Amino acid sequence: MTDLTPGALAPLHNRDFRFLLAGFAIGQMLMPLQFITQILWVQSTAPNNIWLILVAFIATSRGLGGLAFGLYGGALADRFNRKHLLQLILGLQVLTTSAIAGFMYLNLTGFVGFGAFFILTFLSSGLQSIDAPTRLAIVPDVLGQRLTPSGISLNQVSGQIAMPVAIMVTGIMIDQFGFSGAYGTTVIGYLLAMILIGMMRYAPSAQVQSQQSQPYGLAQIKTDISVGLRYARGEPVILWVIILLILLMSLGYPATASLGPTWVTTEVGVAIPRMGFVMMFWGIGSFIAALMLARFANFVHRGALIAFGALLFSLSFVIFVLGKNELNIMIGNFGLGAGMTTMMVSSTILIQHIAPSDMRGRIMSIFQLNMAFAQLMTMPIALLAQWMGLAALFPILSYLTVAMVVWVLLRQPQLIRATIRQTSG
């Protein structure tokens, strides 16, 4: 961190941003721990003939939750006090997390048990899809446009410090405390994040304060979402950033992330206690990329960075599945993490620079749909893998991902040329 410039560290002088940053880091630590624990629990308890389908349905449940709640969450973030909305979502996350840990502890499997587990996963993902655009939308409110690129980059630095640690200790925690104990510890993180958000002095704009007292029903929600979608369609750079990420994540994320632990433990043969070490290279790559992005937070050519990140991610996917050995997994994961972070951070900065404050929550919720589509695609990919085999399918997907990225970048050169303007305040 000592290599960062004073400009890159400037957001840390803001008290509210420090609390927001700490909460973000906690969230980044909880997500992989929860997701990997869910995958391994289902993998170890489901019947042998359907376990891969049920593992894929975890991501499908998450994707459906993201689609069902995502756009609605962006509309809420533009309408209500973003601080209070975050506190409410975190409180509800405590309840859903406790319930899922309880199902694991009681080992409730079978049709009813797995059904309830997937419903809770759906609800938890829906809450996360409201949390994410709200957190992203609040950063410019707290820091202003000039410091937002540095703030977004520091968010990623903090998250990528936390994420490799979480991935590395997940296998150890499961080995020591069992699936329910490992999953249940994440409740503590949500409670701590609630406290941090509560300590912020953030106050919404006068426009938001006046809107809070107005009735807000389904008709208004639908209108707000429609306005956001029309705005995104009218901005070619925003539109094609979103399209690129949806296509890339739909092809690349299911194999490398949603089904990544399955590939590592079944095809490569890595033991669960060592799995965290092998998988943590994704987090290390993300951390180094986030550190570089923070170091050069004033870099204006964000479109070029998005293109670079997309190419790095897709080529690393090829490496990830090229050979069934730990070295390929570690190198591939490193590039996947670095590429994804470069894409996501640069896309967030570019979109927030273009979108006005009163539209920011809705646009960021549309942007976040790339993850919902990525998780939804896990099920059809798992069904194909059940038929073809993981070893046959994943290399084909990797080559398709590279070809798709190249096609989009050649077809939409304005995306590569997109820049942000430096402001003085």
pLDDT tens track for 236-288: 999 999 999 999 999 999 999 878 888 888 888 887 778 778 888 988 898 89
Average pLDDT, the chain: 86
Alpha carbon distances (Å) from 248 to 222, 355, 409: 28, 23, 12
The string of pLDDT tens digits covering residues 147-195 is 888 888 888 778 777 777 777 788 888 888 999 999 999 999 999 999 9
* Residue 9, pLDDT above cutoff 50: yes
* Residue 206, pLDDT above cutoff 60: no
Q: Which residue has the higher pLDDT, 77 or 123?
A: 123
Q: Which of 85, 94, 96 is nearest to 216 (CA)?
A: 85
Q: d(Cα 25, Cα 332) in Å, to the nearest integer?
A: 24
Spans of all domains in the chain: 6-417
- What is residue 140's predicted lDDT score, i.e. its pLDDT? 86
- What is residue 6's predicted lDDT score, i.e. its pLDDT? 46
Overall fold of domain 6-417: Growth Hormone; Chain: A; (1.20.1250)
Percent of the chain with pLDDT strictly greater than 70: 93
What average pLDDT does the segment 116-122 reach? 94
* Residue 3, pLDDT above cutoff 50: no
* Residue 218, pLDDT above cutoff 80: no
The string of pLDDT tens digits covering residues 60-88 is 898 888 888 877 777 788 878 889 999 99
Q: Which of 28, 137, 45 is nearest to 82 (CA)?
A: 137
The answer to whether the pTM exceeds 0.85 is no
Q: Which of 135, 151, 143, 18 is nearest to 87 (CA)?
A: 135
CA 257 to chain centre: 11
* Residue 422, pLDDT above cutoff 90: no
- What is residue 4's predicted lDDT score, i.e. its pLDDT? 46
* Residue 208, pLDDT above cutoff 60: no
- Residue 1's pLDDT band (boundaries 50, 70, 90)? very low
Exposed/middle/buried for 254, CB within 10 Å: 0-12, 13-18, 19+? buried
- What is residue 49's predicted lDDT score, i.e. its pLDDT? 79
Most confident of the ranges 3-12, 274-283, 310-319 = 310-319
Q: d(Cα 86, Cα 112) in Å, to the nearest integer?
A: 31
Query: How many Cα atoms occupy the beta-carbon half-sphere of 12 within 13 Å?
Result: 14
Q: Which of 331, 321, 292, 294 is nearest to 396 (CA)?
A: 321
- What is residue 124's predicted lDDT score, i.e. its pLDDT? 94
- What is residue 314's predicted lDDT score, i.e. its pLDDT? 97
The string of pLDDT tens digits covering residues 354-407 is 888 778 888 888 888 888 888 888 889 988 988 888 889 999 999 999 999 999
Q: d(Cα 383, Cα 360) in Å, to the nearest integer?
A: 37
What average pLDDT does the segment 113-131 reach? 92
Q: What is the CA radius of gyration of the chain?
A: 20
